[in-house]
């Protein structure tokens, strides 16, 4: 298991908490979340990375465009696979797309057993955007709000607990 070198590594032991943003393909929602967390964390000791259940697809141009509109550059991000990372390196795991059930098989269940697991169940902009990037922008703004909320939970040490052993611990609605 080797950490991809495709983008600047922004997680590791030097951070008090490390967050993994997961999505099906790591091409849009998880990339936005990774970009926002890097942008918003400021002095907070929060590391982050993103990956897909299946990696290797390109980052969606629409995601790059709408993030650039708000001063967050994810143009050098690439789609990485969750298999390239070690769950033990992360304290918090965020499923951006409702893909938590895909983590149930034995080879992936460790991702759901971290300190906190949240499933944001964000809409998929490429699937619903009418062509004007409006859905990309809406989801971008929703992701920003959720990242701010997550940072507040981390800073106040209110990550929740594992109430639902069936999959989603302390879900953020």
Establish whether 99 is a catalytic residue.
no
Establish whether 171 is a catalytic residue.
no
Catalytic residue among 48, 97, 147, 168: 97
Please answer whether residues 59 and 49 qualify as being in contact, where contact means their C-beta atoms are separated by less than 8 angstroms: no
Task: Please state, in angstroms and rounded to a whole number, the distance separating the CA atoms of residues 141 and 108.
Answer: 29
Q: How far is CA 157 from the centre of its chain?
A: 19
In degrees, rounded to 5, the angle at the alpha carbon of residue 13 between the alpha carbons of residues 97 and 91 is 35
Residue 170 buriedness (CB in 10 A; 0-12 / 13-18 / 19+): middle
The two three-digit tokens of residue 61, written as one number? 């141009």
Torsions phi, psi for 137 (to 5 deg): -65, -40
Please answer whether residues 114 and 90 qualify as being in contact, where contact means their C-beta atoms are separated by less than 8 angstroms: yes
DSSP state of 102: G
Active-site amino acid positions: 23, 97
């Amino acid at each position: 298991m080797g950490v991809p070198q495709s983008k600047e590594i922004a997680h590791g032991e030097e951070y008090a908490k490390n967050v993994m943003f997961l999505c099906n393909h790591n091409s849009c929602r998880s990339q936005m979340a990774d970009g926002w967390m890097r942008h918003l964390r400021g002095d907070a000791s929060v590391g982050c990375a993103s990956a897909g259940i299946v990696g290797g697809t390109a980052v969606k141009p629409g995601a790059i465009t709408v993030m650039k509109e708000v001063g967050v550059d994810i143009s050098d991000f690439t789609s990485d696979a969750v298999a390239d990372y070690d769950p033990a390196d992360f304290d918090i795991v965020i499923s951006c797309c409702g893909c938590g059930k895909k983590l149930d098989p034995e080879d992936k269940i460790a991702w759901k057993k971290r300190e906190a697991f949240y499933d944001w169940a964000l809409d998929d902009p490429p699937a619903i955007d009418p062509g004007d990037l409006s859905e990309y922008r809406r989801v971008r703004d929703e992701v920003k709000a959720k990242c701010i909320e997550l940072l507040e939970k981390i800073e106040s040490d209110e990550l929740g607990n594992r109430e639902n052993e069936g999959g989603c611990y302390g879900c953020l609605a």
